[in-house]
Structure 1
């Protein structure tokens, strides 16, 4: 199962957070938003089908988030969990921890914002478009 989102970078992307990364529908972020890597996303978790949500709400589901920009690419792998509500109207957060809330897409991710491809982050700092592919295995 695959779900695609388009988002873009922002001049304040720093990508310094050590345990999460986030994309949001918000168009503006402040300089302290060190986990947000994409703004103005065109879809939210509310656009996920029920089947997609059901598969994510399973701790055996492996979730791959593939991030692509003009000059950068990265793939992050994490896991679903039965406590994932997937209901937040504006934010999608991937976490290296096992913390869950309505913004959490996946837990136990193998990368956080600070671990992402530097070329990808440079593109995002320059406000380039980023394609986000969420693939469930």
Structure 2
């Protein structure tokens, strides 16, 4: 069974995408240059807003492919869920290269940080009207394991 869930966010002139350990999207509408891990603002969902089914899959420890799309530009990375993830934050979603877990963490042991994302994609996100699609994809789900 294939499953995917999409979140939309938007660019901002202060998108830097230079953090070496995380990637973040936020429901906040403003961004300062201190938020160097944030690649999208005004997001359609936070951790708390993810569908119950996606949360269940994440908490089962599955491996995910995350697709990032802005117009004709794409990039992707992989990350893992964990039964320890809380998925409670009402503003943010954070993908981490480490195993650190807090209410904002959605996946751990990710294969990319913000600074490793395609630079053309990050450059495009300097334009506030550009829409970023973040797609969570699990290729195979065994319903008996959930």
The TM tier, using the shorter chain, reads over 0.9
Tell me how large the CA RMSD over aligned residues is: 1.2
Helix, strand or coil at the partner of 1:132: strand
Map of 1:2 onto structure 2: 4
- For residues 93-112 of structure 1, the C-alpha deviation after alignment (integer angstroms, 9 at most, x for no partner) is 00000101111110000000
CA-CA distance at 1:126 after TM superposition: 1.9
Q: Distance in 2 between matches of 1:112 and 1:91?
A: 16
SS state at 1:100 partner? coil
Matches within 5 A, 1:45-64: 45-59=47-61, 61-64=62-65
Tell me the equivalent position of 1:84: 85
TM-superposed CA distance for 1:72, in Å, is 2.1
Separation in 2, partners of 1:84, 1:74? 25
- Structure 1 unaligned residues grouped into runs of 5+: none
Q: Distance in 2 between matches of 1:136 and 1:71?
A: 22
Contact 1:65 1:76 in 2 (8 A): yes
Quick check: which has more Rg, 1 or 2?
2
Q: Is 2:18 aligned against 1:16?
A: yes
Alignment match, 1:97: 98
Q: Which runs of 5+ in 2 are unaligned?
A: 140-146
Equivalent position to 2:132, from 119, 130, 133: 130
1-structure distance, mates of 2:50, 2:37: 23
Match of 1:28 in 2: 30
TM-score, length-scaled by structure 2: 0.88
TM-score (norm 1): 0.94
Q: Is the 8 A contact 2:74 2:121 kept in 1?
A: yes
String of CA shifts for 1:24-68, please: whole Å, max 9, x gaps: 000101111100000001122223232221110123x01111110
Q: What residue is the counterpart of 2:142 in the other structure?
A: none
1:72–1:120 CA contact under 8 A, matched in 2: yes
Name the count of aligned residue pairs.
Answer: 136
Distance 2:51 2:18 in 1: 32
